[in-house]
Amino acid sequence: MLKDAAELVHFRELHLLPRSIFAIGAVCFVGSFFLKNFLIGFLGVGILFVALTLNFAIGVCLGTDISFTRKSFDVAWGLLLQFLFCAAVTYKLGSLIYHFYRHGEMPPYLQPLGK
């Protein structure tokens, strides 16, 4: 019974720091439903993507092999592309959160169409 306990660990593919940041973002996201505050939920999603971006960055660093003796440089290209995509999404979410916080509304291109 205890040997199956390791299989029940959630988010074990995340490293320690991204897992902690992910938990903070999840608390903000779930808490926004109870507080009925859109901005806190949006911030929670942004924090979740920060954690994912950090996790991909750690994976790229661990997957990169630099050898001075063989003069080779191997990069995990799949992880690098995922990191770049996640970083772009994180940047866009961060800019939207900042815009919504500063101006109190979404940018015009994300607002619903008028009649």
pLDDT digits (tens, 9 = 90+) for 65-111: 777 777 777 788 888 999 999 999 999 999 988 888 888 776 777 66
Q: How many domains does the chain have?
A: 1
Backbone φ/ψ region at 104: left (φ over 0), alpha (ψ -120 to 50), beta: left
Query: Is 11 within a domain?
Result: no
Query: Is 68 within a domain?
Result: yes
Please spell the DSSP secondary structure of 55-111, one letter per residue: HHHHHHHHH-EEETTTTEEE--HHHHHHHHHHHHHHHHHHHHHHHHHHHSS--GGGS
Query: Is 55 within a domain?
Result: yes
Helices 16-35 & 38-63 angle (0-180, nearest 10): 170
Query: Is 63 within a domain?
Result: yes
Query: Is 1 within a domain?
Result: no
pLDDT band at 2 (very low <50, low <70, confident <90, very high): low
Query: Is 111 within a domain?
Result: no
Query: Is 83 within a domain?
Result: yes
Whole-prediction pTM = 0.75
Domain that holds residue 92: 16-105
